[in-house]
Amino acid sequence: MNASAERLPVRQTASQLLLRLIYDRGPISRADLVRAAGLTAPTVSDAAASLMAEGLVVEVGLGPSTGGKRPTLLQVAPDARQLIGIDLAHGNFRGALMNLRGEVICREEILLEGHRGVEALALVYRLVDALAARAQRPLLGIGIGAPGLTEAARGVVNAAVNLGWNDLPLAELLHEHSGLPVFLSNDCHLAALAEHLYGAGKDSPAMVVINTGYGIGSGIVLGGQLLAGVPFGGGEIGHLVVAAGGELCSCGHRGCLESVVGLRALARRAQELGLDVPAQLEGLPALLAERQQQGDPATQQLVNETGRALGTAAASLVAVLGGCRIFIAGSLMALGDPLLAALRAELALHAFTPVVEISEVGFVQAGEDIVLRGAAVLVLSRVMRLL
Ligand SMILES: [Zn+2]
């Protein structure tokens, strides 16, 4: 039996509060913790001792003297616990073992190869098993970013068309399989959470992450809160119609954003323009960026149209949210500044100028692990009350 079977104690309030303070502000002295927590010195001392006994907190040297002897500083031990993050929103299923700072320790990837339904579910089990087997510390839980409509509160994937999942209680099934707490959310929502905590969207009062790839969606964070929808559907802009009467989308409607800028749509349009398309569609945007730089007019047109379609959708977001920061994540980031320039131009054409002027468009900074980092946020906030 590996460490995953170990039962973790439920944090009690004083030590829970202290752990969070040490996580956010460490290295920090006990005296500063007394002030910050508003607790008595003996309570802080006892709670710190129990956190150290659990291996969650360590002493890391001495701080500057404030008159008397130099205080010992406390810090969270980032590798005291591990967690599993899963990103199901690509051509392949990706997962990582991560630490308490959401840093990747090791990765596993499983080829989806067109599997759907129960076969795709079996691959998720395989991915989790492979990562759990590599855990060297007690596992806190599993965070999953799933494509399509998800109901985070119930841990259900309502509809993921490409995986053939309908009303799949994925969190419950995976909990039964692994014995670990499992938390699930839409991949774009997790990307937004990660960018809000770790990336360029830090402390933004209103921000949106548009995640691009095979599917298109967005996560909206307003006043520090994720707009997930009740019970689901928040930020679901992939099926916003941006080209009336356009191509048929997987949802059954025509001209959705996803049917214009999703990877399959991008490949189709590239072929129509006589461009070569790689077998691995994830590599297509980088290839297009290279051709664009070489001055190929067909590619420039394709990139421009892609940015403009995103700009049309961004105008709807701005109309509802008011001034906000919009970040592009995922595959289309490879298209670089020409994509953003086209997006900005179209946004300016379609939205109210004063609102456009207080809005901002850019790329995420959280990197290609953005969904995995969001999955870590899910576990850390729910199990440890951190973040
Ligand atoms: Zn659609």
What pLDDT digit, counting tens, does each position of 266-320 carry?
Answer: 999 999 988 889 988 989 999 999 999 999 999 999 999 999 999 999 999 999 9
Tell me the CA–centroid distance for residue 176 and ligand 1, in Å: 33
Could you tell me the pLDDT band of residue 34, with boundaries at 50, 70 and 90? Answer: very high
Residue 8 confidence (pLDDT) above 70: no
Instruction: Indicate the burial class of 51 (C-beta count within 10 angstroms; 0-12, 13-18, 19 or more).
Output: buried
How far apart are alpha carbons 208 and 189 in whole angstroms? 9
Structure tokens at 364: 């995420």
For position 344, what pLDDT does the model report? 98
Q: Is the pLDDT of residue 333 over 80?
A: yes
DSSP-derived secondary structure letter, 92: E
Helix (H) or strand (E) run with residue 140 in it: strand 139-146
**How many separate helices (H) and strands (E) can be counted in the chain?**
13, 16
Q: What is the pLDDT of residues 94-129, one digit of tens each?
A: 999 999 999 999 999 999 988 999 999 999 999 999
Query: pLDDT at position 12, please?
Result: 56
Residue 89 Cα to ligand 1 midpoint, Å, equals: 16
315 alpha carbon – ligand 1 mean position (Å): 18
* Ligand 1 midpoint to CA 256 (Å): 5
Gyration radius (Cα) of the chain, Å: 23
Between 223 and 95, whose confidence is greater? 95
Measured between alpha carbons, how far is residue 285 from residues 203, 255, 359, 368 in Å? 30, 21, 26, 14
3-state SS assignment for residue 179: coil
Residues 139 and 132: beta-carbon distance below 8 Å: yes
CA distance 274 to 299: 10
CA of 259 to the centre of ligand 1 (A): 7
**Average pLDDT over every residue of 207-212:** 96
Ligand 1 centroid – CA 129 distance (Å): 34
Q: What pLDDT, in 10s, does the model give residues 164-184?
A: 999 999 999 999 999 999 999
Rounded percentage of the chain residues whose pLDDT exceeds 70: 97
Ligand 1 center to 37 CA (angstroms)? 49
CA–centroid distance, 253 to ligand 1, in Å, is 5
- Residue 250 Cα to ligand 1 midpoint, Å, equals 6
At residue 54, the pLDDT reads 94
> Ligand 1: distance of its center to the CA of 263 in Å?
14
pLDDT tens figures, 62-72: 888 878 888 99
> What's the 238 CA to ligand 1 centre distance in angstroms?
6
A 10 A CB-CB count for 361 gives: 23
